[in-house]
A and B are shown apart, each in its own frame.
Chain A
Amino acid sequence: MIHIYLCEDNKKQLNRWENIIEKYLIMNPTESKLFCSASKPEDLLSIRKRSSTTGLYFLDIDLQANKNGIELAQEIRKYDPRGYIVFVTTHSEMAVLTFRYKVEAMDFIAKDDTDTLPEQICACIQNAERNYKAQLDSSNRLLSIKVDKDSLVLDQNDIVAITTGDDSHKLTLHTKTGIRQISGSLKEFHATLNSGFCQCNRSTIVNLKHVLKYSRENSMLFMDNRETYSVSIRMMGKVQKALNSFHLSIMK
């Protein structure tokens, strides 16, 4: 179940949003419900604090209050780290990257395009519901990683490999789409991973799921993101065994 929250200082626009959402919820009976519609950020926050359900938030940026939408979203993140935030804003206030990276906004809607507003709002609700369901299914695969004061939630299946660089207390996480640096040690990290991971040399743990090919002559693992990792002599037997049992378990 998702609770929907609205915050917009202009009463007229707020009413419009409410109408759109209510109409959508009547037409598409789901477990979601319109939980709160506020014109002041404080009102929304005080209601949010008392609830523990994941929320979907439609926020205006320029709220004519002591907080703007981005600050409000940051505040919301403290109580609802996994909630879905959508900014409804004018073109001139649009800051796509900032929304996405600073408060992990799910989406943003341009209010200048008044005609497509209902469609866009409904698409956001559908998206949030789909994502919520997918998360419930995959919750045992998720991995929470501390990055400074924040934590990053990743699906273990997306991780291709974890390596250490020259810097011993920094790890590099290789995914299909790129690399990111996190702090920690390889040993600690290995303990939190599921059985699909295997250490192939002193500084690398690979996800067997992403191994394309294991070449025994030059003891290299070829991954599906174009990376290659060498297998140290000590680990050869272990890697071979792990690959065999991994493929067996898939075939079953």
Chain B
Amino acid sequence: MTGRHVAVVDLGYGDAGKGTVVDWFCATRPVEAVIRFNGGGQAAHNVVLPDGRAHTFAQFGAGTFHGVRTHLSRFVVVDPLALAGEATHLAALGVPDALDLVTVDREALLATPYHRAANQAREIARGADRHGSCGMGVGESMSYALAHPDTAPRVGDCLDPGLLRHRLTLLRDRLSAELGPLDAPPVADTVTAFTAFAQRVSIVDGSWTTRLLHAGPVVFEGAQGVLLDEWHGFHPYTTWSTTTFGNVDTLLSEAGMPGAVTRLGVLRVVTPRHGPGPLVTEDPTLRPPERHNGTNAWQGRFRFGHFDAVAHRYALDVTGGVDALALTHLDLVGAHRLQLCGGYDWTDRLPTGPPGDLDRQAALTARLLASRPRYAADPEPEPAAWVDAVRDALGVPVWLTSHGPTAADKVTRLTAAAGR
């Protein structure tokens, strides 16, 4: 790993193990900070410590257990209420000062109870056609900001209760006019809580990222997965977030360090998907134990498919490739009949297109929903052979393997991946 910094991105539909990989980085090497560069409070990156303590990292970076600070960049949708809930849980696990480790860019959008209520009202109205939203209001916040860029509530507004009250009232009234009364607390209550957030957490400007990047090695922790990307994902089963390396590249360029990063793509030996949307390799008989994810009211079922090299190849294509892979859940190899899908019945490689052509993406989705997987002849019974099979299928070296939930279960395999 020769890049000064590391960016950890999921090349599937999320849930591959970004959290455990980031935790391992922070446990084993000096890390200045973890920077989040997309998504928001709906992220759920599970980290398990060797002593059994476990936490689902949503807005705190997955290095928090090791005292590594978190920076929420302007690309993150910040949910102050969920941040408090998460901090409370971290305190119960023996990290009493987690909030001291957080900095937030004042330009970041806020996710509020009004976005959340609107998000849930829409998802309920979709009925059987759900998109797999997490019900946290992240996408709602992004779409509101697109429609009302100048009045969308942002983190910096929490420093000015009058302005915040005004913007939240406007938001609530606009969403209510569209959707009817929202099931959300009064604006004054939200102002109180958000103001307390601003008094407690360090709110910084854009130069902070530059400062961190010059101070030492930074781990960029992605959220969700490339296949859910707002522009390249399989529309409409996508997220309102850029899940590629795009925002990482932007932040590095702004800091005058373009390309100073090793890109690490995370994959599981199976391809999971939480909620609706294409999963070509889905196999209902494939039911490995799933410690962290279950069915929930908003996203629906947690589904498993065999390793879908076609879909992951597409992720590599749209995000411009990675330097190395981290392959997780190798402990499943041998315990379950795992297969590797190297091609579909009509192609081995999905066509990419210009970002933002949603009609094209929707047509691709329709195509995927009708695709059949073609599996390699024999499932590999050995972890090592699996690692080689993944490397060969994707043409990328596997640099890190994970054989269990903790940092102690990780093994590095190469002396170096090609740095940038």
Do A and B pair up? The answer is: no
- The chain B residues found within 8 Å of chain A, CB to CB, are none
